[in-house]
Chains A and B, each alone.
Chain A
Amino acid sequence: MEDWRKNKGAFATFLGPASFWLLVFFVIPLILVWVYSFGERGPQGQTYLALNFENYLRAIEPIHLGIFWKSVWIGAISTAVCLVVGFPVAMGIAFAPSRWKNPLLLIVVLPFFTNLLIRTYAWIAVLRTRGFLNFGIEWTHEKLDGLATLAGFPEAMGDFVPLELLYNQYAVIIGLVYVHLPFLILPLYATLEKLDRSYMEASLDLGAGQWRTFFSVLVPLVMPGIVSGALLVFILSMGNFLVPDLLGGTDSLMIGNLIAREYGAARDWPFGSALSFMIMYPVFIFFVINAMAARYRTHKRAAA
């Protein structure tokens, strides 16, 4: 492609529709939400434009801050579990023989072909008291009990008590990990795939063992992939409302549920908007700092 300066028409043709789309359906609504966040809720749930900080003051009340904090925690734990589970999978696919790579990647994205709602309901069927997991455990218990009776200890195993697996934080984390795992595996796989194998070979050649090579060479070199995958999973997990809604208990309310409730049942759009922007502000600040750091680095390099 030629320099865009020489070929403005062509570039406008390509970029125009996408820019228009982003502007109309992303930037303008975002500005609207931001404006709403300073508004007031009318008696029937109408939204009146205003300029007050009531909504933000409500948002930082301890009960709401607690929900923010819990969302961050659950997001962080889900991300960590995704990393531990996803890293070996991404490595396995990246280092598999090339004819296996595409089928394996297909398996990773296969769940996306099923509706998210159905996949989440499926976890209810697995985890509930009379669910598949408990059935499995009960069956094992029964067999072990039979064996113990044969061995002459009829009381050894006790009675089977189904495990309470559903409607708690653990179920939420399991659901979030399950839903978001591909978002970690795919960027990580892409980075691992591009990685020059001779870096690992050089490390082995210089006397490092497999673990040392993994932590001193492989992980630092694929850090961009780890960061982008982890960030994606963290953001998606923290803002998710479907999984905590279906799999969580009474104490599993996350920020996504709160926002959904304010926009929905509570009909308090200004407060919902303020809650949304409470998440947006840190992201904006992060990007500004990031851009400033990048500019500082280029200046430093130019000076050196």
Chain B
Amino acid sequence: MTDQPPIISIRNVTKRFGTVTAVDDVSIDIKRGEFFALLGPSGCGKTTLLRMLAGFETASEGSIEIDGQPMLSVPPNRRPVNMVFQSYAVFPHMTVFDNVAYGLKVTGVPKAQVAGQVREALALVHLEDYGRRKPDQLSGGQRQRVALARALVKKPKVLLLDEPLSALDAKLREAMRLELVHLQHSVGITFVIVTHDQDEALSMADRAAVMDHGVVRQIAAPGTLYEHPNSRFVADFIGKMNLLEAKVAGVSGGRLAVEIDGLGRIDVPHEGDASGEIGIAVRPEKTRLSKEPPAGDLIGLKGKVSDVAYYGNESHVLLDTDTGVRFTTTVQNEVRRTDSSVLIGDNLWISWSPEDTLVLSE
């Protein structure tokens, strides 16, 4: 598996629109059969990159290879990829069947084979009985399934999905996430999905590239992105993060001593070198609240509760700490009660283990 050449190889690709650089020197290898996510805030260049894979945009510099073939001068209709559009773009003047059959008919698949392949594709997305409907008789979720079937019936080497879940309501979105992953496993095609929703990327993708202002910040598996972000941007974009600015005071034997305003000097585990200004970060769910100062080698900060946001299964508590930084922590609502155990104005300690502390040099 690992020895196989990548299905998509993006090499130093830059895309400029006039004076704006939408994609800036991006290089990504996507493995065969992988569920890959391009993740980033709007305007980060992820959709432009996807459109370059589909052939709707041409790279200003750099090269894109799909399955070993250079794609520079290949028009969209001759690329071995298919796309599920954000608006689905299901043709409103054709029935569901004709929509799915369109891609087969235009490439001259014999009529006798078209019907069978279309039925297969519709079965894959559980729309067997909808062939004769028109798109305006379908729900948003069903239209999206048509778009999926229409792309998959072409048996592409790569399926491109542009924000496929953004137009669905929250419940359906969660169900579709699972379904897309199952679908990808059953058809075995490489999926490349563009999303601005970190939950989507984390829950579906095998690997994700986090993009910001046209630049790839980190390419890694979801767990690595969450637990070992390589920069302040990735740490802050993926999940919630409490971030303190610190100065390196010394490095010795896998530990780093840092100086933080309002907290003093603390010791955290860190492999490798670091110097100057760095970020010290900890995820909210890895922190604890207590009335007393923490014991042992836990790192503790005193603060005052400024806000409590109730989410049902958990509450998010905002704490104004002595460092001047507002911390967020999550409290699991394990016991059934409607009054809060934490009240605004409480003076509490927030603490976490040095092992859960992230050092962000970028």
A residues bordering B, Cβ < 8 Å? 196, 198-199, 201-209, 212, 216-217, 220-221, 223
Contact B106 A212 (CB under 8 A): yes
10 further interface pairs, Cβ-Cβ under 8 Å (given A202-B150, A205-B82, A207-B78): A201-B83, A202-B83, A203-B102, A204-B56, A205-B81, A205-B83, A206-B154, A207-B154, A209-B77, A216-B106
- Neighbouring B residues of A216 by C-beta, 8 Å: 102, 106
Given A201-B76, A202-B83, answer yes or no on A207-B89 (Cβ-Cβ < 8 Å): no
Is B103 on the interface with A (CB-CB < 8 A)?
Answer: yes
> Which residue among A196, A201, A205, A216 has the maximum number of chain B CB atoms within 10 Å of its CB?
A205
Given A198-B85, A201-B76, answer yes or no on A206-B106 (Cβ-Cβ < 8 Å): yes
Contact B77 A207 (CB under 8 A): yes
Given A220-B93, A221-B93, answer yes or no on A204-B76 (Cβ-Cβ < 8 Å): yes
- Neighbouring B residues of A223 by C-beta, 8 Å: 93
**Can you list 27 A-B pairs, Cβ within 8 angstroms, ordered by A?**
A196-B87, A196-B89, A198-B86, A198-B89, A199-B89, A199-B91, A201-B54, A201-B89, A203-B91, A204-B55, A204-B56, A204-B75, A204-B77, A205-B76, A206-B103, A206-B150, A207-B77, A207-B78, A207-B103, A207-B106, A207-B107, A207-B154, A208-B102, A208-B106, A209-B106, A216-B102, A221-B93
Leading 5 A-B pairs by shortest Cβ distance? A206-B103, A198-B89, A202-B89, A208-B106, A207-B107
- Neighbouring A residues of B324 by C-beta, 8 Å: none
Is B92 on the interface with A (CB-CB < 8 A)?
Answer: yes
Number of inter-chain CB pairs below 8 Å: 64
- Neighbouring A residues of B76 by C-beta, 8 Å: 201, 204-205
Cα distance, A216 to B93, chains bound together (Å): 10
Closest to B136 in A: A301
Min CB gap A114→B, angstroms: 37
B residues bordering A, Cβ < 8 Å? 54-56, 75-78, 81-83, 85-87, 89, 91-93, 102-103, 106-107, 150-151, 154
Min CB gap B304→A, angstroms: 49
- Neighbouring A residues of B55 by C-beta, 8 Å: 204-205
Min CB gap B33→A, angstroms: 21
Min CB gap A108→B, angstroms: 27
Cα distance, A98 to B347, chains bound together (Å): 58
> Which residue among B89, B102, B151, B154 has the maximum number of chain A CB atoms within 10 Å of its CB?
B89
> Which residue among B86, B92, B102, B154 has the maximum number of chain A CB atoms within 10 Å of its CB?
B102
Min CB gap B193→A, angstroms: 16
Closest to B90 in A: A202
Cα distance, A206 to B108, chains bound together (Å): 12
Min CB gap A268→B, angstroms: 49
Closest to A196 in B: B87
Cα distance, A196 to B90, chains bound together (Å): 11
Min CB gap A125→B, angstroms: 45
